[in-house]
Amino acid sequence: MVILDRLPTKDRMQRLGIITNDLCMFCSEATENRNHLFTECPKSASIWKSILQLSGLNRQFSDWTNLLEWATSTWKGKSLLSCILKMSWNAFNYTIWEERNRRIFKGICRAEADIIKTIKEMFAAIFG
């Protein structure tokens, strides 16, 4: 859903007339769309950067297209790093969307460190 840009982000919901406030739930500085939510928002970008650093990488991405091009050209094969990056990205996307929904529908906000801890716990559950 993320890659296909089919998530019901606030920009889409506003175009449908369902909501009036389309600001990002993390930074409140820009319109929430897929690109902003997963790569351009300073808070989610910081979380992704932390995950990459845990994998021993120090990369930054200016936009969604840049990240997707890097992923499709680099994360090939079944090497351990490639598998970890694929799983990390999926865990990141899931957790960011979950946090966004938690903030909208429950009014509960977790700190960045807690979001990163949640992603680490996903890996701990898998790798024991």
Does the pLDDT value for residue 20 go beyond 70? yes
- Convert the pLDDT of each residue in 78-111 to its tens digit: 998 899 899 999 999 999 999 999 999 999 999 9
pLDDT confidence band for 128 (50 / 70 / 90): low
Both tokens assigned to 78 = 């079944």
Instruction: Supply the pLDDT for residue 27.
Output: 96
- How far apart, in whole angstroms, are the C-alpha atoms of residue 109 and residue 47? 15
Instruction: Take residue 9 and report the two structure tokens written for it.
Output: 């982000």
Q: How confident is the model at residue 55 (pLDDT cuts 50, 70, 90)?
A: confident
| 17 φψ region: left (φ > 0), alpha (ψ -120 to 50), beta (else) | left
pLDDT average, residue stretch 2-11: 94
Which are the contacts of 68, defined by CB distance < 8 A and separation ≥ 6? 3
* CB contact at 8 A, 119 and 127: no
Burial class (CB in 10 A: 0-12, 13-18, 19+), 84: middle
Contact 75, 86 (CB under 8 A): yes
CB 83 within 8 A of CB 67: no
Query: pLDDT by residue (tens digit) across 30-41?
Result: 999 999 999 999
Q: In angstroms, rounded to a whole number, what is the distance separating the alpha carbons of residues 29 and 22?
A: 10
Q: Are 24 and 31 in contact (CB under 8 A)?
A: yes
**DSSP single-letter state for residue 2:** T
pLDDT for position 16: 94
Q: What percent of the chain has pLDDT over 70?
A: 99
